Structure 1
Amino acid sequence: MKIDPSEGSFARASTGTYFDKDGVLRTAAVDEPRWNYTYEDGEWVGPELLVEEQRTNLFTNSGETLESIGTAVTPNAAIAPDGSMSMDLVTEQQTSGEHYVIDRTLTLTSGVTYTFSVFVKDGPSANRDYYHRVAGSSINGLRFKPRSKEITGSTFDSYGFVELSDGVFRVWGTYTPASTGSVVNRSQLLNGALIYTGDGTSGLYIWGAQLEVGDRPTSYIKTLGAPVTRAADIPGRIVSNVPENDAPVWTAGTYTQGTKRIQNHHVYEVLAESTTDAPADGVAKTPPTWLDLGVTNPWRAFDEKIGTVTTHPEAIRFSIRADQTINALAFFGVDAGSIRVTVTDPSLGRVFEHEATPVSTDGIDNWYQYLFAPIELVEDFVVLEVPAGTYGTIDISLDKPGGEAKLGALVLGQTSTLGVALYGTSIRLRDFSRKERDAFGNFVIQERDFSKVAEFDVAVDTANISAVQRTVAQYRAKPVVWIGEAAYESTIIYGFCTDFGVSISGPTISDATFSVEGLN
């Protein structure tokens, strides 16, 4: 799969919220991608690029809870999902009757589906349920039990809850008014029945009320005195968290020697004393006025080179819309503590998840070596059997907490089995460093890149010889990933087949040789 840097973009005309790796609700700036984590089986996992349509929170003062009938409210009594001490405690009073906070009343439109949501946490003392009541032309009721994690609803279109860490839940329900008019949304305490005598101490923590048009809840939108709209996320075919800040973007003007500018995702440097040429034009002149230094940092992982590296502090993230069938990914020149790959189908949700720690265990066969041998990282590896269809989105994350994550090359594509690699295959390195002796016999060493080289001995089905030959011919001048054995890093090579031959050894199996030289 060819990645074109011109297809990399992301836009959103407003801020937006997402959960970080620690489960804290953060706010992304305008045009900043949201790399969202989800809470699953007691831990925050991810990230995946969060892409949502435009939504408006119709409730005002979303973080404020005001006492009403049979309740007392203690403001800022617990830590809210955004990490602030702003979650309010709603406590029932020692009165007989209903116990609820102030109603949120809006005029809603007939036939339009609305979704409410609110963050709820179990409170002190006796067990109390959260009850959400919608009263208009009809009455809808939803009951959530924080301690048993049970939810039931009456006349709601759909409902559910999302569990977060620290005992917080986001409860939601959708409903469609039968007629246009005033509708009351009420957050209420429940003790088996709506009407009961409170004990003066029991209650729930509540925060972040939201009402939006749509059939499901989306990310939280904070409001104050008026409704707030979160703009739609508009991703390109590929989105990255790595900024394109290698140099300023080129604009028309006069530039002096040594100045660097970005044009069309490439970095250029002025060679002439001064020039008014555009970089792409200046490269083609004789003599050239600009020098092309290569693609910018986010796109070095896709420039068909391994020695040019994409880097970013802490983590490198990509979200790629496949647009074609992909069942394998190959990574080269990796420096990271962990790698995570997920595939999301727009209809089926997440269909694939792979996590790995690229630490080599080669030669580690006793406790002494396990405890004291230097830690070595696997730099080149493949992820196979990836079910990414035409409409799937692939999210890739390389994390290195406290350090700088690096990636030399990322290749996505569809595998083709040519045969079975055999013992007898040879591998070696081709080094491009210079090692020369001076007049006194001392070595002068200039370290440069190297490439992998392999001679694969392969057993090929005799009936498939012609098909294998056609495949090799098709890719004879295109860099592809060659895999001898996925478990052996040394036999994973990104490069070209420089020579191919077959000895038709028998009617069933024939012997083939592939000479492969890797990129550097």
Structure 2
Amino acid sequence: MTLKMIDPAAVTDANLVSHNLTDPNAEWSSGATYAAGAVVKVTADKRLYESAAGGNTGNVPSETLGTAWIDRGAMLPWRAFDDGPSSIVESADQIDVRFSLSALARGVAAIGVSATQFRVTVYNGATVTYDQTHVLVDDSEIVDYVTLFTVPLVANNLGILDDFIAGPGNEIRVRIGEVGEPVSVGEIIFGDVPEFGHVVSGLSSEMVDYSTETVDTFGNATIIERGYTFDRDYPIKIMNSDGGRIERALAKLRARRGLYYLTAEIANTWGIATYGRLTRLIKTADAGGWSDVNVTVEGRL
């Protein structure tokens, strides 16, 4: 078993072939007057903006941030590919997106997903070369007739499919949920899946909560909920002769997010995966020809 990582390809106008995620917000107009709290989209920026005050006229959103406008993140469909799984995309129907490839792709993932299933189809022209549906409902605790009626089904919030190979000239279609099913997803990614070393025991996780607690002069405490990270240390073994290559390959993945996991089955079943950035790599070589490597990932999943 190796450490895997889906290295997400950037989604642009050039490779987003089709989608059904239409942003309902009105396009910003220089001649319109906006009330405080009004939300507009600027398609050229692929962003949403909220008016910071009433009587807001003629202020270009991207040029007056903090005074006239507040950046509210990516608009649809780009919110589903904005490198931020906490920006949830909700749809009253199945989400259906399709991408063209300009490089190797061996994995697709739906992160922070709420749906019954996750389907990936690969096309070579009009020919389907891969079509797989992953069921997102966990029924592992239903083991007999009694639990069939007493244990509720639990939906997994992560889906990974990585048993295909596609490349330039191919297209990948991703469908979240069934037709007519209300669904949501935090992030849809696709890309190559490099593998590193041999995983050994000792994987550790740490949740870091950024919520704050304030106490007034009377001793009353107030907790303000903030975001959190789920940091993981992945221990692997590599041959000393392969150390330099793997160090350089991992170093290239720093300063950007990817989905780190062991196998798709383990990630899909137990949720052991980390969508985040590599923050630390420690390697200790021994005289037996092997090196112990610890890969630390600061995660948003």
Instruction: Give per-residue Cα distances to partners, 1:170-220, cap 9 Å, x unaligned.
Output: xxxxxxxxxxxxxxxxxxxxxxxxxxxxxxxxxxxxxxxxxxxxxxxxxxx
CA distance in 2, matches of 1:336, 1:435: 34
Q: How many residue pairs were aligned?
A: 286
Instruction: Classify the secondary structure of the residue corresponding to 1:314.
Output: coil
Q: Which residue of 2 aligns with 1:500?
A: 281
Give the whole-Å Cα distance in 2 for the aligned partners of 1:363 and 1:465: 42
Residue 509 of structure 1 pairs with residue 290 of structure 2: yes
Q: Name which of 426, 431, 455 aligns with 2:209.
A: 431
Q: Quick one: distance in 1 between partners of 2:265 and 2:211?
A: 29
Paired position in structure 2 for 1:312: 91
Higher relative contact order (CA 8 A, sep 6+): 2
Matched, 1:359 2:146: no
Counterpart of 1:477 in structure 2 is 255
Other-structure match for 1:2: 10
Q: Deviations over 1:54-89 (max 9, x none)?
A: xxxxxxxxxxxxxxxxxxxxxxxxxxxxxxxxxxxx
Shift of 1:506: 4.1
Match of residue 282 from structure 1: 64
Counterparts of 1:360 and 1:462, CA distance in 2: 40
Instruction: Report the alpha carbon displacement of residue 438 of structure 1 after superposing the two structures with TM.
Output: 5.8
1:19 equivalent in structure 2: none
Highest Rg: 1 or 2? 1
1:277 is displaced (CA, Å) by 2.1
Aligned to 1:220: none
Equivalent position SS for 2:195: coil
Aligned to 2:6: none
Measure the CA separation in 2 of the matches of 1:360 and 1:508.
42
Q: CA RMSD in A?
A: 2.4
Maintained 8 Å contact 2:118/2:159: no
**TM-score with structure 1 setting the length:** 0.51
Counterpart of 2:183 in structure 1: which amino acid?
Answer: A
Matched residues in 2 for 1:362 and 1:485: separation?
Answer: 18
Partner of 2:160: 382
Distance 1:324 1:379 in 2: 27
Rounded to whole Å, the distance in 1 between the matches of 2:29 and 2:61 is: 10
Please give the alpha-carbon distance, in whole angstroms, between the structure 2 residues aligned to 1:370 and 1:301. Answer: 35
Please name the residue that 2:50 is paired with.
269
CA-CA distance at 1:361 after TM superposition: 4.0
Unaligned regions of 5+ residues in structure 1, if any?
8-235
Q: How does 1:245-260 map to 2 (within 5 A)?
A: 245=24, 247-256=25-34, 257-260=36-39
CA contact (8 A) 1:462 1:506 kept: no
Question: Contact conserved, 2:237 with 2:290, CA < 8 A, in 1?
Answer: yes
SS in 2 for 1:262: strand
| Cα displacement string for residues 343-373 of structure 1 (whole angstroms, at most 9, x for unaligned residues) | 01017x1100111111124555555444322
- Answer whether contact 1:437 1:443 (CA < 8 A) is retained: yes
Q: Does the CA-based 8 Å contact 1:322-1:390 persist in structure 2?
A: yes
Offset, 1:446: 3.5
Does structure 2 retain, via aligned residues, the 8 Å contact 1:297–1:311? no
CA 1:403–1:436 in 2, change beyond 3 Å: closer, same or farther?
A: farther
| Amino acid across the alignment from 1:3 | V
Which residue identity is paired with 1:248?
A
Alignment counterpart, residue 326 of structure 1, candidates 95, 105, 116: 105
Q: Please give the alpha-carbon distance, in whole angstroms, between the structure 2 residues aligned to 1:313 and 1:332.
A: 18
Query: Does residue 270 of structure 2 align to residue 463 of structure 1?
Result: no
CA contact (8 A) 1:421 1:485 kept: no
Q: Give the % identical residues.
A: 21
- 1:54-203 alignment, distance < 5 Å: none
TM-score, length-normalised on structure 2?
A: 0.86
Match of 2:264 in 1: 486
